[in-house]
C-alpha cells in the first residue's frame, strides 16, 4: 500500500535530514481534505523537536526529500504543519490496470485454515416469532461473518435456540388451557406466530390474576409470586427437567411449529447457519460444570440449596448459577455452550452478537469461566449492539407490541412496490421479474438502513425513509449499480467494451482519479471493518463510492467522447465500480439487480 511506502520513506527522510530516528507511531498519513490539493497528508508537528525548525520548514524539507526519492510522488504543497502529497498519474493507472480485470475478488484475502472464528447470532426464543430486534441481530451477525471471511478468516456461524425455561412453559401452558387443539394449519398461521400469540395470552391472563390478588390485599411482589398461572408454569418447568413424557411431547409439538416458522423467516432474510445449538441440550453440561465448580470450592451453596459464584473481589456481585430447586439459569447454559463450542472448534474467537443490555452478563460469563480454570475464556468477544426501535417507540413481547419480522419484511416489499411503480422503474418487466425486483429493493432497503448505523448505537428504523432512490439508502446504491449495467449493455450494442492498458495514452481527469482513489481504499475498508466488527464501515464506503461515481457520471461523458481509448477506459472504470458495489453489498447480505 502506498501509505506504508510513504511512512517508511518519511522515516528515512527524518533520519537523514535531522539525524534523529522518529517514533514510527508518530508518522501519521491521512487522506487530504477535499478543500486542498493532494492525495495524502503527512502531519509534521510530531517531528518539530527532531528538526528544530518551524512547521513549514520541516514540511518543506520532508516534501522535497519524498519528491526526489519516491517516484510515486508527483508534487507537494505545505499548509502550516501539514504536508500534502500529490500521487502521480501513473501510480493510479498502474493500480487500475493491475486490479480491474480481477475486480470481482479485489480486496479479499485468501481463506486460511487457522483456528475458526465462531459467531453466535440470532438466538431466538421458541415462545415467539422473530421481531425487529432479531432482524438487527441477524443482519449484523451475518454481515460480520461475511466480512471476516473476506479478511481470510475461517468462520463458523452458529445459532443458540432458547428452547427451554419458564418463558417457554408459559406458551405451553397457555396453549394447553386455551388452545382447544388448534394448530397453525387450522388457523392458517406461521407456527412461530401461532405460539407467540399464546405467550401474549398467558401474560394477559396472568395480569388479571395479579390484579385480583392485589385487590385481596397482597402486595404486587407477593401477587406475582402467588399467581396460580405462574405457579403452574413453574411446576411445568420442573416436570420438563425431570423428563415428564406428557410435558416433553407437548414441548416438542409446539417447538416444531416454531422451527418451521423460523425457517421461513431466515430464508427470506437470507440467513444461514453452519450449526444450530439448543439450550435444552447444552444446559445439562452447564449444570455439570457448576457442580464440579462447587465440588472444587470455586462456587458456593447457600442455605436454600442454590449455587452461586462470588465475584465481589472482582468488583461485581454474587451470581446465581443454580436455583434452590435445582433448575438452571441462562448463565448455566452459557457456561455449557461455551465449553461445548471450545472443545468442538478450538476457536480463535468466540463472538456473541447480543444486545448491549447483556454487557454485564458476558463480563460475568468470561470471569466465571476463568475462575473455573478455563483460560481459553479470553477468546470470548461480546459484539454488543444498540437497540432498534420504530418511530412510535419501544416494543414489548409479552404485551404483543413487538414488530413482527415477517410483517416488517412484507411491509418493505409493499413499500418497494409502490415506490418503484410510482417512479416508472419496471417498464418491460414481467410480473415475476417485477416481484423479484420489489423483493430485492425492499430487503436491500431494510438491510442497508440497519447496517449503515454503527452497531454500538441505538437506532430508529423508518421503513418509508429507507426506500428512497436518493441519499444514503440501499435503493440508491442498487439503482446506481443497475445504471452502470445499463451503460455497459448500451456500450456493447455500440461495439465499445471495457479495456485499458498502461501503454494507453490518456489524460486522467480529476473525477476519474477521485473514483480510482476510492476503489484503492476498498481493501483497507474491509480490513478495518473486520478489525472493528462493523458492517457500517462497508455500508458507508459503498455510499461514498456510489456518490463519487454519480458525480463522475454527471460530469464526464462516457459513450460520447470521440477518443475511443477514453471511452473504453471509462467503461472499464464503470465495470470496476460495478463489481465493487456488488462485492460490498454482498458483504452486507444485499443483492443488486441488473436492471431497474
Q: Give tens-digit pLDDT for 532-546.
A: 999 999 999 999 999
What is the per-residue pLDDT for 526? Answer: 98
- Residues whose CB is less than 8 angstroms from the CB of residue 313 and which lie 6 or more positions away in sequence, other chains included: none
Q: Which of 335, 341, 306, 346 is nearest to 322 (CA)?
A: 306
State how beta strands 275-278 and 388-389 pair: unpaired
Q: 3-class secondary structure for 204-233?
A: HHHHHHHHHHHHCCCCHHHHHHHCHHHHHH
Query: Grid coordinates in use for 84?
Result: 500534502
pLDDT of 392 over the 70 cut? no
**pLDDT tens column, 100-120:** 988 888 999 998 888 999 999
- Measured CA to CA, the distance from residue 36 to residue 129 in angstroms comes to 53
Q: Which of 388, 391, 368, 390 is nearest to 380 (CA)?
A: 368
What is the per-residue pLDDT for 401? Answer: 53
What is the per-residue pLDDT for 395? Answer: 41
Angle, helices 535-555 vs 474-493, to 10°: value is 40
- Lateral strand order in the sheet of 380-385: 275-278, 155-161, 117-120, 349-355, 380-385
Q: What is the mean pLDDT of residues 25-42?
A: 93
Per DSSP, 404 falls in state B
Q: What is the mean pLDDT of residues 54-65?
A: 96
- pLDDT higher at 402 or 203: 203
**pLDDT tens column, 173-228:** 999 999 999 999 999 999 999 999 999 999 999 999 999 999 999 999 999 999 99
Give 196's strand partners.
none
Cell numbers 518539530 correspond to 48
Largest CA distance in the chain: 92
Query: Grid coordinates in use for 220?
Result: 404486587
- What are the structural domains, with CATH classification, of the chain? 2-87 (3.30.1360.70), 121-389 (3.40.50.620), 405-586 (1.10.730.10)
Q: 3-class secondary structure for 264-277?
A: HHHHHHCCCCCEEE
Kindly state the helix (H) or strand (E) to which residue 82 belongs, with its residue range: strand 82-87
What is the per-residue pLDDT for 396? Answer: 45
Task: Give 264: exposed, middle or buried? Use CB within 10 Å, 0-12, 13-18, 19+.
Answer: middle
pLDDT of 558 over the 60 cut? yes
What is the per-residue pLDDT for 394? Answer: 47
**pLDDT tens column, 316-354:** 999 999 999 888 888 999 999 999 999 999 999 999 999
* Band of pLDDT at residue 403, cut at 50, 70 and 90: confident
- Residues whose CB is less than 8 angstroms from the CB of residue 392 and which lie 6 or more positions away in sequence, other chains included: none
* Band of pLDDT at residue 398, cut at 50, 70 and 90: very low
What is the per-residue pLDDT for 402? Answer: 67
298 neighbors 372 (Cβ within 8 angstroms): yes
Q: Which of 366-370, 408-412, 428-432 has the highest mean pLDDT?
A: 366-370
Task: Give 595: exposed, middle or buried? Use CB within 10 Å, 0-12, 13-18, 19+.
Answer: middle
Query: Grid coordinates in use for 270?
Result: 437470507
**pLDDT tens column, 269-305:** 999 999 999 999 888 999 999 999 999 999 999 999 9
Cell numbers 459467531 correspond to 119
CA atoms within 13 Å, Cβ hemisphere of 567: 15
Q: Which of 62, 101, 220 is nearest to 573 (CA)?
A: 101
CA atoms within 13 Å, Cβ hemisphere of 296: 11
- pTM, full prediction: 0.91
Amino acid at each position: 500500500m502506498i501509505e506504508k511506502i510513504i511512512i517508511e520513506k518519511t522515516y528515512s527522510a527524518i533520519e537523514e535530514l535531522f539525524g534523529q530516528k522518529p517514533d514510527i507511531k508518530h508518522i501519521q498519513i491521512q487522506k487530504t481534505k477535499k478543500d486542498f490539493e493532494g492525495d495524502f497528508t503527512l502531519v509534521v508537528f510530531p517531528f518539530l523537536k527532531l528538526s528544530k525548525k518551524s512547521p513549514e520548514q520541516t514540511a518543506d524539507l520532508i516534501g522535497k526529500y519524498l519528491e526526489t526519492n519516491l517516484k510515486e510522488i508527483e508534487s507537494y504543497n505545505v499548509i502550516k504543519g501539514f504536508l500534502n502529497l500529490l500521487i502521480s498519474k501513473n501510480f493510479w493507472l498502474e493500480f487500475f490496470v493491475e486490479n480491474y480485470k480481477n475486480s470481482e475478488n479485489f480486496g479479499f484475502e485468501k481463506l486460511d485454515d487457522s483456528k475458526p472464528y465462531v459467531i453466535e447470532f440470532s438466538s431466538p426464543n421458541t415462545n415467539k416469532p422473530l421481531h425487529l430486534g432479531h432482524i438487527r441481530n441477524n443482519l449484523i451477525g451475518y454481515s460480520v461473518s461475511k466480512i471476516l471471511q473476506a479478511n481470510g478468516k475461517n468462520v463458523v456461524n452458529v445459532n443458540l435456540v432458547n428452547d427451554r425455561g419458564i418463558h417457554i412453559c408459559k406458551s405451553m401452558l397457555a396453549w394447553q388451557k386455551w388452545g382447544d387443539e388448534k394448530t397453525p394449519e387450522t388457523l392458517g398461521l406461521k407456527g412461530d406466530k401461532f405460539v407467540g400469540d399464546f405467550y401474549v395470552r398467558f401474560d394477559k391472563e396472568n395480569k388479571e390474576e395479579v390484579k385480583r390478588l392485589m385487590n385481596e390485599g397482597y402486595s404486587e411482589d407477593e401477587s406475582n409470586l402467588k399467581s396460580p398461572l405462574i405457579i403452574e408454569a413453574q411446576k411445568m418447568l420442573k416436570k420438563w427437567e425431570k423428563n415428564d413424557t406428557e410435558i416433553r411431547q407437548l414441548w416438542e409439538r409446539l417447538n416444531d411449529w416454531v422451527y418451521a416458522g423460523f425457517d421461513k423467516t431466515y430464508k427470506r432474510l437470507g440467513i444461514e447457519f453452519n450449526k444450530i445449538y439448543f439450550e435444552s441440550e447444552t444446559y445439562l453440561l452447564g449444570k455439570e460444570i457448576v457442580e464440579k465448580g462447587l465440588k472444587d470450592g470455586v462456587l458456593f451453596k447457600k442455605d436454600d440449596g442454590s449455587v452461586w459464584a462470588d465475584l465481589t473481589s472482582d468488583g461485581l456481585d454474587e451470581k446465581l448459577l443454580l436455583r434452590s430447586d435445582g433448575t438452571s439459569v441462562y448463565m448455566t447454559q452459557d457456561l455449557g455452550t461455551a465449553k461445548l463450542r471450545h472443545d468442538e472448534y478450538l476457536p480463535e474467537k468466540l463472538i456473541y452478537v447480543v444486545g448491549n443490555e447483556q454487557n454485564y452478563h458476558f463480563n460475568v460469563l468470561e470471569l466465571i469461566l476463568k475462575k473455573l480454570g478455563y483460560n481459553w475464556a479470553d477468546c470470548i468477544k461480546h459484539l454488543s449492539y444498540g437497540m432498534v426501535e420504530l418511530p412510535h417507540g419501544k416494543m414489548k413481547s409479552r404485551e404483543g407490541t413487538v414488530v413482527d419480522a415477517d410483517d416488517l419484511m412484507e411491509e418493505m416489499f409493499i413499500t418497494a412496490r409502490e415506490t418503484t411503480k410510482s417512479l416508472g422503474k419496471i417498464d418491460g418487466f414481467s410480473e415475476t421479474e417485477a416481484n423479484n425486483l420489489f423483493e430485492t429493493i425492499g430487503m436491500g432497503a431494510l438491510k442497508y438502513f440497519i447496517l449503515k448505523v454503527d452497531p454500538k448505537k441505538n437506532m430508529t428504523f423508518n421503513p418509508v425513509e429507507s426506500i428512497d432512490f436518493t441519499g444514503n439508502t440501499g435503493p440508491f446504491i442498487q439503482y446506481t449499480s443497475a445504471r452502470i449495467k445499463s451503460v455497459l449493455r448500451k456500450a456493447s450494442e455500440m461495439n465499445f467494451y471495457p479495456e485499458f492498458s498502461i501503454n494507453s495514452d490518456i489524460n486522467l481527469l480529476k473525477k476519474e482519479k477521485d473514483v480510482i482513489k476510492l476503489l484503492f481504499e476498498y481493501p483497507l475498508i474491509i480490513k478495518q471493518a473486520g478489525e472493528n466488527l462493523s458492517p457500517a464501515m462497508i455500508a458507508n464506503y459503498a455510499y461514498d463510492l456510489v456518490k463519487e461515481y454519480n458525480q463522475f457520471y454527471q460530469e464526464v461523458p462516457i459513450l460520447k467522447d470521440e477518443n475511443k481509448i477514453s471511452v473504453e477506459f471509462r467503461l472499464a472504470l464503470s465495470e470496476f465500480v460495478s463489481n465493487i458495489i456488488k462485492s460490498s453489498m454482498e458483504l452486507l447480505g444485499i443483492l443488486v439487480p441488473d436492471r431497474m
